[in-house]
Amino acid sequence: MTFDQAAVLAVLAGTLFLFVRGTWRYDVVALLALLASALLGIVPADRVFAGFGHPAVVTVAAVLVISSALQGSGLVDVLSRQVARIGGGAVAQVAALAGVTALLSSFMNNVGALAIMIPVAIRVARDSGTRPSVVLMPLAFASLLGGLTTLIGTPPNIIVASFREAHGGAPFGLFDFAPVGGAVAVAGVAFLALVGWRLVPHREPAGGKQDWFRIEGYITELRVPEGSALAGKSVSALGAIVDAEVTVVGIVRGTKRLVNPSPFETVRAGDALVVEVDPEELKNVVAAAGLQLAGGKELGRDALKSGDVELLEVVVKPDAPILGESAKSLRLRQRYGINLLAVAREGAPLRRLKDIRFRLGDVLLLQVAASATGDVLGALGCLPLAERGLRLGAPRKLLLGLSLFAGAIAATTIGLVSPPIAFAAAGLAMVLLRLVSLRDTYEAIEWPILILLGAMLPVGEALETTGAAGAIADGVLGLSQRFPPWASLAVVLVATMCLSDVVNNAAAAVVMSPIAVAVAGGLGASADPFLMAVAIGASCAFLTPIGHQSNTLVMGPGGYRFGDYWRMGLPLEVVITAVALPLLLLVWPL
């Protein structure tokens, strides 16, 4: 083994280790891998940043912009409204929800499709008395299955297409993935609806069937008597007076009730404060501030909201600005006028709220001004777990958006222009025609994904140019030489599945594509079935919540634990392998 081969394998091993460990975000890890490859000389200086101009990166960015425009046009809201009317049992609910999610994710970002459907799924589950855990994991898996069907359904498909082009063939077309990927998606959705949801532990979300949190025991009314240390001071002064985590969520003053009062509101003698405090700290709060219990009265959620103030149950989305931050570091109350009332993680409520560092999939209960709801969700990067009302666009806007998207698809299908040009043109046209604002355009683009792609593509090329991919392929061929050629295809498919369960699916495709091409070359076979196997395997991250952001996003709302995913994911991967292998051999012969 040469130095270059050993170096690129060492870089990849370190990269995969850091991906799995999760200490740094995947885009940062990818940049470290790229710079390490450059310093070791395994990526030429003139190719170090070439990946950022790669057609795959441009196509992914353009599709994200188009998805945002179509969502704003009202198309997705119309579909969601129809799905929300679902009746019947769990089989019908899972089939309809998973089917629509898979359809949406065929042409838009997987996480985007899932984020749209989560509030719909929770509404359907609550209206029918079904636990959200029954529908949310199937929903996440369906968002991955839908991406299998088209070139633009998921970044791994675009990466695989670019590898085919790099080896002298025409890139895969928009619907070249459909014969195998579509059949796999249909079989997967059928499995989810008929069998899969039965394999998931049907847990209550944090707090019970109808509420994510039990906060009643933490909401108490306290009287401010004459001589209290708090009388005549602002609401924010309470934190300095008592050594405890306490939040004033309301003030009752005579017949007037102030919900979510300003930190600068002056507390008067005779006021009744509605506070959120741990019962174990309540006695210390009363003593330190000179307050009185109002008959030990515990209050419910109605005391926390009014016509101007509402409670929001939200889940932290991927790449949210608050990831890794705490309520204290973000100064939620001072900056946004938000009271953080509760946090649930993996189905369990957490306390010491001000010190908790938010993670992807955390479920938060917020008290916020109704007029600021939209701004708050955007600033925090959170998804509401209840429908906020349909945002139906004008018919003209909807028709125009669909026409531009259909035109890009048609131009790509007949070979008039390449996918990067067609979809970039459609995205730009949508911006110029104001179907999507410039601000929303930049917010729609998932920059960490683009950085990951731009950084990892040259590393993937180095895996091939150094001969390391060929060395790995020789090992695969050596293990399967006693078996027919399709066994090597099965090894590539299953290995990609396993890799995608622990690292980002785009990274899995970048790593496995050159290996797949090398295995095909060693067999003297076509690279097409092996590349298609990589595309399918990279989108089948069903065994862990960290394999894909969609899986992590439903973890909190569904009350799932890490070990819950393989219960449904493992048999689903068996079904996918059984369906995909014969179809790969039939549609893309060796």
* AA letter at 349: P
Enclosing domain of residue 142: 3-20+55-206+418-587
Show the CA angle centred on residue 406, arms to residues 401 and 411, nearest 5°.
130
Token code pair at residue 73: 């046009």
Are residues 184 and 102 part of one domain? yes
Residue by residue, what is the 3-state secondary structure of 96-128? Answer: HHHHHHHHHHCCCCHHHHHHHHHHHHHHHHHHH
Domain boundary among 258, 273, 299: 299
Are residues 154 and 120 part of one domain? yes
The count of residues in the chain is 590
Res 206: pLDDT: 45
Are residues 99 and 191 part of one domain? yes
Res 569: pLDDT: 92
Return phi, psi of residue 502, to 5°: -125, -15
Q: Write the pLDDT tens digit of every residue in 219-269.
A: 788 888 888 888 888 888 887 788 777 888 888 888 788 888 888 889 888
Are residues 151 and 13 part of one domain? yes
Are residues 320 and 290 part of one domain? no
In a domain, residue 247? The reply is: yes
Number of domains in the chain: 3
Q: Write the pLDDT tens digit of every residue in 375-397.
A: 777 788 887 876 555 454 556 67
Distances in whole angstroms, Cα of residue 479 to Cα of each of 320, 409, 485, 491: 44, 42, 12, 10
In a domain, residue 33? The reply is: no
- Confidence band of 530 (pLDDT split at 50, 70, 90): very high
Tell me the average pLDDT of the chain.
Answer: 82
Res 477: pLDDT: 75
Res 207: pLDDT: 44
Maximum Cα–Cα distance for the chain, whole Å? Answer: 90
- Confidence band of 273 (pLDDT split at 50, 70, 90): confident
Res 173: pLDDT: 84
Q: What is the CATH number of the domain that holds 252?
A: 3.30.70.1450
Are residues 199 and 77 part of one domain? yes
Domain boundary among 299, 333, 357: 299
Q: Reply yes or no on whether the pLDDT at 35 is more than 90.
A: yes
In a domain, residue 47? The reply is: no
Q: Write the pLDDT tens digit of every residue in 557-589.
A: 887 888 889 999 999 999 999 999 999 999 998
Q: Reply yes or no on whether the pLDDT at 205 is more than 90.
A: no
Q: Write the pLDDT tens digit of every residue in 179-201.
A: 999 999 999 999 999 998 888 87
Are residues 110 and 223 part of one domain? no
Are residues 350 and 257 part of one domain? no
In a domain, residue 456? The reply is: yes
Q: Reply yes or no on whether the pLDDT at 452 is more than 50.
A: yes
Are residues 313 and 282 part of one domain? no
Are residues 360 and 272 part of one domain? no
Q: Write the pLDDT tens digit of every residue in 331-355.
A: 887 787 788 888 887 667 776 777 7
In a domain, residue 44? The reply is: no
Domain boundary among 299, 319, 350: 299
Res 215: pLDDT: 65
In a domain, residue 36? The reply is: no
**Percent of the chain scoring above 90 in pLDDT:** 14
SS3 state at 257: strand
Cβ(458)–Cβ(51) below 8 Å: yes
- Confidence band of 429 (pLDDT split at 50, 70, 90): very high
Q: Quick one: average pLDDT of 125-151?
A: 87
Res 388: pLDDT: 53
- Confidence band of 306 (pLDDT split at 50, 70, 90): low
Least confidently predicted of 29-33, 50-54, 76-80, 186-190? 76-80
In a domain, residue 40? The reply is: no
SS3 state at 501: coil
In a domain, residue 48? The reply is: no
Are residues 473 and 356 part of one domain? no
Are residues 318 and 293 part of one domain? no
